[in-house]
Amino acid sequence: MTDRRTTLKLVIAAAAAMPALRTRAARAASAATFQSGQPAAGDVQQYVPVMNGYGPDPDLIKAYEKGEFWPLTLDAQQRQLAAALSDLIIPADERSPSASAVGAVDFIDEWISAPYPAQQADRDTVLQGFTWLDGEARSRFERPFAQLSEPQQRAICDPVCDPSRVAADLQEPARFFSVYRNLTAGGFYTTAAGRKDLQYIGNVPLTHFDGPPLELLRKLGLA
């Protein structure tokens, strides 16, 4: 969970091994959120995103303001938690900044606020997962998750970061963590810093294009 190369492998594995929803039998206080589907006090639920169709395409050369497409979901406290968790997943290192430093939290907030079925489902998963994280943090360390030290945050997240090895009573938090890790990776690796971290060489304007190399065309049987 600490380095980006491992993160990418886990993202791919998580997509293939996403566990089915199960009811938790232990940790009743934390599990209540997932079992009932009801958010804890403080979760932002003041609107129900609804849209007829998918609307027009955005103007790709215009700079849009945050929340211009639809009301955003996360309040200040939730954004702090989101940043802490995103940076635990993709921390800063010698090659690039952390996930939150390049706007991953903004990406996640826009994503879970979108009025489409998949995003609405992720919204419920993320908000319930945030409630679980803070519940665990307060129960075990008497502070909210965003205020914990990195070892304390890891103590909560490590048991749910690998869907293939998660305990039966942590299946739903593990599902949340997989969804959130995917969103964090998506937000990070679609930025300029993320593409540089991947050493991606595409998406760069060229003054001219000479066509594919002759050697490659011959290898493919096209020349």
- CA separation for the pair 120, 114 (Å, rounded): 7
The distance in angstroms from the start CA to the end CA of the chain is 45
Question: Mean pLDDT over residues 135-147, rounded?
Answer: 97
What pTM does this model have?
Answer: 0.71
pLDDT, greater one: 154 or 34? 154
Pull the structure tokens for residue 93: 């290192």
Q: What is the CA radius of gyration of the chain?
A: 20
pLDDT in tens, 40-59: 444 444 455 555 566 677 78
Pull the structure tokens for residue 110: 């826009």
Do the Cβ atoms of 143 and 149 come closer than 8 Å? no
Instruction: Give the pLDDT score at 223.
Output: 85
pLDDT in tens, 180-189: 999 999 999 9
